[in-house]
Amino acid sequence: MPRRSVEKLLAENLEAKKILAELGALLGAAAQPETSQRKETMPITVAKTVRELAVEVPNATRVFEKLGIDYCCGGHKSLEEACSDAKRPVDEVLRALEQGVDTASPQTARDWSTAPLGELVDHIVNQHHTYVKNEVPRLQALIAKVVGVHAKNHPELEQVQVAFSELANELAAHLMKEEQILFPYVKQMSAGKGCGPSCFGTVQNPIRVMMMEHDGAGEKLREMRRATHDYALPQDACFSYGTLFNALLEFEADLHQHIHLENNILFPRAIERERR
């Protein structure tokens, strides 16, 4: 068999690379229409509930957080109702949602509406439960420090202290019930091991209790916002005062996302899974 020349081998190698590049371009082009089609199948309308939009629209929860739209405890309301409650023009919110879609990156966040339930439970525990457990002691100490210095001139800080203390106690019991009772049951269903016996009959019973407790937590957050006029810093605020308000805002945003994942995604999917 005649030996091929170096030139022929190089030519064949270049041709192979060219074919691979063309195949890659074709695969990329084939994937693009699917993304466009997905956007077209999920129109943003004022008749949709906040929950639906929070689940379907990229960056929707960030938009709602920024504009003060209740997407966790108030997720059952239509967008029109939620805008009215937040005293936000509907057109402004629609524009912000559309811009959120345009600027969203496919890699920015996991789509928890399709992830295995067990993975979603682990994410909630590892990300949000851990955050609450770490932040509560820090915030309680910071609140006590700021109250000790500024409560004389700003008595509303004592309202914040009482409300946050009540919220912390409620959350401690709430997280324990989820981690020890509800979440193991959901993970058992997710693993395909059947529902098995439970102390609560149907998963809808503990979910109903958890959602009521979420409503209570949301009210505590609103109570602190009202007391501080949406966390507006007074002129005599010190560095710790500002640090406290920023930390409370971060805690509020994380708890909103936490409740959203449970109320709007985990709980409906768990109920549906049990029915099947």
State pLDDT tens for residues 74-93. Answer: 778 889 898 998 889 989 99
Kindly state whether residues 93 and 140 are assigned to the same domain: no
Kindly state whether residues 138 and 238 are assigned to the same domain: yes
Kindly state whether residues 137 and 267 are assigned to the same domain: yes
Instruction: Specify if 8 maps to a domain.
Output: no
Q: Which residue has the higher pLDDT, 109 or 43?
A: 43
Domain termination residue (choose one: 60, 75, 103)? 103
Kindly state whether residues 207 and 269 are assigned to the same domain: yes
Instruction: Specify if 64 maps to a domain.
Output: yes
Categorize the per-residue pLDDT at 171 as very low, low, confident or very high, splitting at 50, 70 and 90.
very high
Kindly state whether residues 62 and 199 are assigned to the same domain: no
Question: What's the CA gap between 67 and 64, in Å, rounded?
Answer: 5
Question: What's the CA gap between 20 and 34, in Å, rounded?
Answer: 22
Kindly state whether residues 135 and 87 are assigned to the same domain: no
- Predicted TM-score (pTM) of the model is 0.74
Mean pLDDT of the chain: 83
Query: Residue 181's pLDDT is what?
Result: 92
Q: Which two tokens stand for residue 230?
A: 């949406």
Kindly state whether residues 250 and 143 are assigned to the same domain: yes
Instruction: Specify if 22 maps to a domain.
Output: no
Question: Given phi > 0 = left and psi -120 to 50 = alpha, else beta, which region is 194?
Answer: left
Kindly state whether residues 172 and 84 are assigned to the same domain: no
Instruction: Specify if 12 maps to a domain.
Output: no
Q: How many residues can be counted in the chain?
A: 276
Place of tokens 């693009």: 32
Kindly state whether residues 93 and 225 are assigned to the same domain: no
Kindly state whether residues 81 and 134 are assigned to the same domain: no
Instruction: Give the domain range for residue 198.
Output: 117-275
Kindly state whether residues 97 and 176 are assigned to the same domain: no
When divided into structural domains, the chain yields a total of 2
Instruction: Specify if 31 maps to a domain.
Output: no
Kindly state whether residues 142 and 256 are assigned to the same domain: yes
- Mean pLDDT value of segment 233-256: 95
- Mean pLDDT value of segment 218-238: 96
Domain termination residue (choose one: 80, 103, 126)? 103
Instruction: Specify if 108 maps to a domain.
Output: no
